[in-house]
Every structure is written in structure tokens, then in C-alpha cells.
């Protein structure tokens, strides 16, 4: 797939088939992710590939986190919501949880470590698209919850940056749209303010 075509046509795909993805394909995605740019060559990413029942602990933690906001609900409602939260981990046959493990070297900027892992996620998403897979990068408050760090054995300085749900798409993807770069760009060619 041509690079510019891949960048313009990649979309988040929510609905995927339950069919397994070959390990070699997943490894190809992970290899692509590791070629993201990163200052000081720290390679601050860590990947957790969840398949089969390996997705179950994620579902349980998603349910546990959601319980924190359900004190006013009836037991029947709570159980229904918890079941739905647990099932979220089974919406795709493969989930790749991506964490940032920032370097402790004092010359390394924390924000650059986060940026490098985000770039790795983009590489992974583009590679998935090029290989005909559907993918969506899921984040949200549960992703950043301390309980999620505990599940994946992350230290306080580490960050879970998202869950990439992967599978073979079942629907035709819709065309995307973006605001023109011209509306988001300031050209600076003289000594002036950057507004």
C-alpha cells in the first residue's frame, strides 16, 4: 500500500470478526511499531498482546473500575453494567495494550517518551491498515486508572497509553474527513509573532 494512501485512508474500525490473527502478522505489527522515532534511542514502549482468555483480566479490571461510579444503582443494573464492561475485552480477537516506560536518565524529557510511544502506536495502526486489518486505539479514564497500572505491572512513572483492538473488518469503512491543514497552519517567514 502506498504511504500517502495509507495515511489518508486509515480509519478506526470498531466491528471486527472473531477470527484469530496469525502470530506472524502480529509480530509484523509490533516490529513496525518499534521503528518509531525516539529521542536518545530510549525505545520507551512496552507491548502486551492479549488473546483468548488472556483478555479476561482486562475485562475484569474494566468492570472493577466502573464499579467506583455505581453506588446509586440497583444490584440488577450493576450486574448488567459489569457484564457489559467485562465483555469489552472480547470485542476483538487481539488487543495490544501499549505502555510507555520512560527512561530515568535525567537528560531524557518525560513528554518526549510519551510522544515516542504515541508514534509507535501510529506506526502499528498504519501497518495494521496496510495488512488489511481493522484496528481502533481505545483510551479513556479506565486506561489511566491506577488499577490498570497494577494489572500490567507498571511502575508509578510508567503510563498505559491505550489498547489497540485488532481483527479483520466486517463492515466497509466510511470515508474520513479532516479540516484542511491550511486552517491549522501558520507560515512564518519574517520576524513576527507566531499567532
For each of the chain's 195 residues, which pLDDT tens digit applies?
688 988 999 999 999 999 999 999 999 999 999 999 999 999 999 999 999 999 999 999 999 998 887 776 667 677 788 889 899 999 999 999 999 999 999 999 999 999 999 999 999 999 999 999 999 999 999 999 999 999 999 999 999 999 999 999 998 778 888 999 999 998 888 777 776
The domain 3-184 having CATH identifier 3.40.109.10: the answer here is: yes
Q: Is 10 annotated as a binding residue?
A: yes
Q: Is 80 annotated as a binding residue?
A: no
Query: What length does the chain have?
Result: 195
Q: Is 34 annotated as a binding residue?
A: no
* 39: nearest Cα among 105, 98, 99: 105
Q: Is 23 annotated as a binding residue?
A: no
pTM, two decimal places: 0.92
* 121: nearest Cα among 159, 173, 89: 159
Q: Is 56 annotated as a binding residue?
A: no
Q: Is 103 annotated as a binding residue?
A: no
Sketch the domain layout of the chain as residue ranges: 3-184
Amino acid at each position: 500500500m502506498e504511504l500517502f494512501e495509507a495515511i489518508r485512508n486509515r480509519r478506526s474500525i470498531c466491528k471486527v470478526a472473531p477470527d484469530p490473527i496469525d502470530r506472524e502478522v502480529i509480530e509484523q505489527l509490533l516490529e513496525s511499531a518499534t521503528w518509531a522515532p525516539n529521542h536518545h534511542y530510549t525505545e520507551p514502549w512496552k507491548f502486551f498482546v492479549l488473546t483468548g482468555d488472556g483478555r479476561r483480566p482486562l475485562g475484569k479490571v474494566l468492570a472493577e473500575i466502573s464499579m467506583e461510579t455505581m453506588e446509586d444503582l440497583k444490584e440488577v443494573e450493576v450486574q448488567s453494567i459489569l457484564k457489559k464492561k467485562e465483555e469489552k475485552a472480547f470485542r476483538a480477537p487481539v488487543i495490544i495494550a501499549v505502555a510507555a516506560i520512560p527512561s530515568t536518565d535525567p537528560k531524557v524529557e518525560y513528554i518526549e517518551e510519551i510522544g515516542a510511544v504515541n508514534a509507535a502506536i501510529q506506526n502499528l495502526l498504519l501497518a495494521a491498515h496496510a495488512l488489511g486489518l481493522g484496528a481502533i486505539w481505545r483510551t479513556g479514564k479506565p486506561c489511566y486508572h491506577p488499577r490498570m497500572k497494577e494489572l500490567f505491572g507498571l511502575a508509578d512513572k510508567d503510563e498505559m497509553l491505550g489498547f489497540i483492538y485488532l481483527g479483520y473488518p466486517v463492515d466497509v469503512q466510511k470515508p474520513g474527513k479532516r479540516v484542511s491543514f491550511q486552517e491549522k497552519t501558520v507560515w512564518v517567514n519574517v520576524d513576527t509573532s507566531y499567532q
